[in-house]
């Protein structure tokens, strides 16, 4: 969790925060997507996290991708902006957020897959027909949209 969000949490407790996220759907040459098994809710999701104050959103997406997976995005393509009830989420610790998630697709990347300690339990590329059922709630809409466009 970012220092900014942690500071806000000391003021508002678990009440809902409007949170801007930057996320990345990584696609390999076989059209498989990279998902990570989250340590907090034990669900699968793609790389992403909160945008810091004054941070450029695309840079936040690249930062989160590297921190969580060890991959460096060579280029990103804006996929979409997702918000509303489908992206509302309550973390296992009770913190509540209303996410505005700016999602990118990355097909050009370098690096070696490395799980972020304490946040990512596993990393795996999945074919569209292999996507696990236990997806983290906020990513279901964007990921399903990407799948529909890429079948």
CA–CA separation, 108 and 28 (whole Å) = 8
Tell me what the mean pLDDT of segment 41-66 comes to. 97
Note the Cα 27 to chain centre separation in Å: 14
Q: What is the pLDDT of residues 81-105, one digit of tens each?
A: 999 999 999 989 999 999 999 999 9
Query: Looking at the predicted structure, is the pLDDT value of residue 129 above 90?
Result: yes
Query: Looking at the predicted structure, is the pLDDT value of residue 118 above 90?
Result: yes
CA–CA separation, 134 and 107 (whole Å) = 24
Tell me what the mean pLDDT of segment 121-146 comes to. 96
Q: What is the pTM of this model?
A: 0.94
Query: Looking at the predicted structure, is the pLDDT value of residue 133 above 90?
Result: yes
Query: Looking at the predicted structure, is the pLDDT value of residue 150 above 80?
Result: yes
pLDDT, residue 3, reads: 85
Which domains occur in the chain, in start order? 3-149 (3.90.79.10)
């Amino acid at each position: 969790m970012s220092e900014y969000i942690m500071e806000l949490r000391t003021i508002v407790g678990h009440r809902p925060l409007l949170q801007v996220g930057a996320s990345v759907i990584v696609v390999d040459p076989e059209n498989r997507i990279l998902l990570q098994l989250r340590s907090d809710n034990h669900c699968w999701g793609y790389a992403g996290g909160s945008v810091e104050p004054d941070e450029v959103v695309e840079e936040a997406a690249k930062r989160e991708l590297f921190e969580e997976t060890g991959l460096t995005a060579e280029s990103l393509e804006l996929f979409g902006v997702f918000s509303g009830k489908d992206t509302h989420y309550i973390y296992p610790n009770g913190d509540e957020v209303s996410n505005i998630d700016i999602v990118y697709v990355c097909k050009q990347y370098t690096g070696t897959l490395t799980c972020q300690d304490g946040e990512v339990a596993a990393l795996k590329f999945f074919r569209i027909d292999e996507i696990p059922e236990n997806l983290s709630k906020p990513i279901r809409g964007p990921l399903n949209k990407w799948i529909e466009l890429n079948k």
